[in-house]
């Protein structure tokens, strides 16, 4: 096993973003952290390719984002292979191949003891947070899996393309409020 190269992952992405306008693909762009990241990157002159499950929230983001014609926002569900294939085809057709990929899409279940989490909720979290990137306990486990999957992807991507597992800790978003309350 070889050690990771210095400057990989988030560092490489930060350097790439600082080097000039880039195309950044963000999953889960329709709300929360993904939406905030899309708005800031667009404000800084980067092109955003984003997907989310809510057409309404994507339309709202399109109204708010700087220079909407530079960006490509579309409904896609990271849990669906066919949805991701359609996204990939659209990205290629629009010639907006990303320089940076941010695996941001995620969901969380209602706060509950692990043994009280309905299997449907557990599956929803795992399907979105783990399978979508290639109970508080399932959420944390799924986010650690994203870290590993993203590190593997980062090593396989060609030079100049970065993959980032965004992990800022607890951020006060609608998703967190739905779990823990205000």
pLDDT at 84: 85
Locus of tokens 């669906």: 80
Query: Which structural domains are found in the chain, ordered by start?
Result: 10-180 (3.40.50.720)
Classify residue 93 as exposed, middle or buried by CB count within 10 Å of its CB (0-12, 13-18, 19+): exposed
Q: Which residue has the higher pLDDT, 61 or 179?
A: 61
Taking only the tens place, the pLDDT of each residue in 120-176 is 998 988 888 877 776 344 555 677 788 888 888 888 888 888 888 877 766 777 877
Confidence of residue 51 (pLDDT cuts 50, 70, 90): very high
pTM above 0.75, yes or no: no
For Cα atoms 123, 129, 130, give the angle at the middle one, nearest 5 degrees.
85
Taking only the tens place, the pLDDT of each residue in 9-25 is 555 556 655 677 899 99
Query: Would you please indicate which residues are annotated as catalytic (active-site) residues?
Result: 139
Helical (H) or strand (E) element with 26: strand 23-27
- Average model confidence (pLDDT) across the chain: 82
């Amino acid at each position: 096993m070889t050690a990771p190269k210095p400057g990989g992952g988030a560092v490489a992405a930060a350097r790439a973003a600082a080097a000039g306008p880039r195309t950044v693909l963000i999953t889960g762009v329709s709300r929360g952290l993904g939406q905030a990241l899309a708005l800031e990157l667009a404000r800084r002159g980067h092109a955003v390719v984003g997907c989310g499950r809510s057409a309404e929230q994507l339309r709202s983001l399109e109204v708010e984002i700087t220079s909407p014609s530079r960006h490509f926002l579309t409904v896609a569900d990271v849990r669906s292979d066919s949805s991701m294939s359609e996204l990939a085809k659209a990205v290629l057709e629009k010639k907006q191949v990303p320089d940076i990929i941010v695996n941001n899409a995620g969901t969380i279940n209602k706060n509950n003891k692990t043994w009280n989490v309905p299997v449907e909720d557990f599956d929803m979290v795992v399907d979105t947070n783990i399978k979508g990137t290639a109970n508080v306990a399932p959420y944390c486990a799924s986010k650690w899996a994203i870290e590993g999957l993203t590190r593997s992807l980062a090593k396989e991507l060609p030079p100049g393309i970065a993959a980032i597992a965004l992990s800022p800790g607890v951020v006060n978003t609608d998703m967190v409020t739905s779990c823990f309350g205000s």
